[in-house]
Amino acid sequence: MKKIVIFASGSGTNAENIVRYFNKIEVAKVIYIFSNNANAKVLERAKNLNIPTEVFSKEDFIGDKVLQKLNSIQPDLIILAGFLLKFPQNCVAAFPNKIINIHPALLPKYGGKGMYGMNVHRALVENNDPETGITIHYVNENYDEGNIIFQKSVPLSENETPEEVAAKVYELEQQYFPIIIENILNQKS
């Protein structure tokens, strides 16, 4: 059984969706959820799903504490699901092509530092983009610049609000993220 570790900073809806998806199949299990936010709702979701958690500080992340924990777990895949910190080089180097992220836009557009959640959706609306979507990509030392694994787009109409854009993107995330994770794990067999 393959091991998945999730990093999340917020509500954890994608994390919960991934846990539930893999609880139904024999490919892998989510065995740990890490968060840099002691008040993140993802921690409550993890508790309800009987998934162990680890809350860490930015200093723990930049230093070796989180890396030591990951080395002790030896995950097959590390998933960033609404995780807002830049992954440190020591972790990226220790787990090459084993860290993936989901971004709420079609990269390379609307990527980089500060481009997450509603910031992305507002920028799309302000620029009258005709479409948006999701990008699932490998994580490297730069925000949103790792190799793209998968993209799925959805058209936008002229007067959509950032909240309506967010709802469309959320549907794509819920539908495709677990499937793409499963495909990646099957390729690593």
User: Which residues does the annotation mark as catalytic?
Assistant: 103
Distance CA 83, CA 81 (A): 5
User: How many residues are recorded in the chain?
Assistant: 189
3-state SS assignment for residue 183:
helix
Residue with tokens 């490297």: 140
Structure tokens given for 22: 């893999």
Distance CA 41, CA 105 (A): 23
Distance CA 14, CA 7 (A): 11
**How far does CA 134 lie from the centroid of its chain?**
11
Structure tokens given for 102: 């989901």
